[in-house]
């Protein structure tokens, strides 16, 4: 199912999106997209609104940090957020970057 247009989530940022009735946090890490549950396992903070540094998102509520590529908590990797596969579909109407000479 389509959850967002790729250009709506710039590199280094995340967004909260809806997929199948659940809120997911969608992140763009240098052009690769990753999705984890939006509700932080600590107290449900919105991870899609957290700051992303590299592959690590910081929960905006109490600053727990999660690796968006694996769902692992940075301080305790045994604790993991559910992760979901993301596929980017390129169509004829997909906006292309403009190049200048
Ligand atoms: S709700 Fe995410 S760190 Fe507390």
Residue 99 CA to ligand 1 centre (angstroms): 41
59: domain CATH number? Answer: 2.102.10.10
Kindly indicate the confidence band of residue 100, based on its pLDDT and cuts at 50, 70 and 90. Answer: low
Residue 74 CA to ligand 1 centre (angstroms): 13
Kindly indicate the confidence band of residue 91, based on its pLDDT and cuts at 50, 70 and 90. Answer: confident
Q: Is residue 23 part of a domain?
A: yes
pLDDT on residue 92: 80
Q: Give Cα separations from 37 to 25, 90, 97 (angstroms).
A: 6, 25, 30
Ligand 1 near 42 CB (within 6 A):
yes
Question: For the residues 92-101, what does the mean pLDDT come to?
Answer: 63
Residue 72 CA to ligand 1 centre (angstroms): 14
User: Above 60 in pLDDT, residue 31?
Assistant: yes
Kindly indicate the confidence band of residue 42, based on its pLDDT and cuts at 50, 70 and 90. Answer: very high
Report field, pTM of the whole predicted structure over 0.85: yes
Query: What is the spatial distance between Cα 45 and Cα 85, in angstroms, rounded to a whole number?
Result: 22
Which residues span the domain enclosing 49? 6-84
pLDDT on residue 94: 64
Ligand 1 near 25 CB (within 6 A):
no
Q: Is residue 98 part of a domain?
A: no
């Amino acid at each position: 199912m389509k959850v967002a247009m790729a250009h709506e989530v710039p590199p280094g940022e995340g967004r909260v999106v809806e997929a199948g009735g659940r809120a997911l946090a969608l992140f763009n890490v240098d052009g690769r997209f990753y999705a984890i549950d939006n509700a932080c396992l600590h107290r449900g903070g919105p991870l899609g609104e957290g700051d992303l540094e590299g592959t690590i998102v910081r929960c905006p509520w109490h600053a727990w940090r999660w690796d968006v590529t694996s769902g692992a908590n940075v301080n305790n990797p045994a604790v993991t957020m559910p992760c979901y596969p993301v596929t980017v579909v390129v169509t004829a109407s997909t906006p292309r970057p403009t190049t200048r000479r």
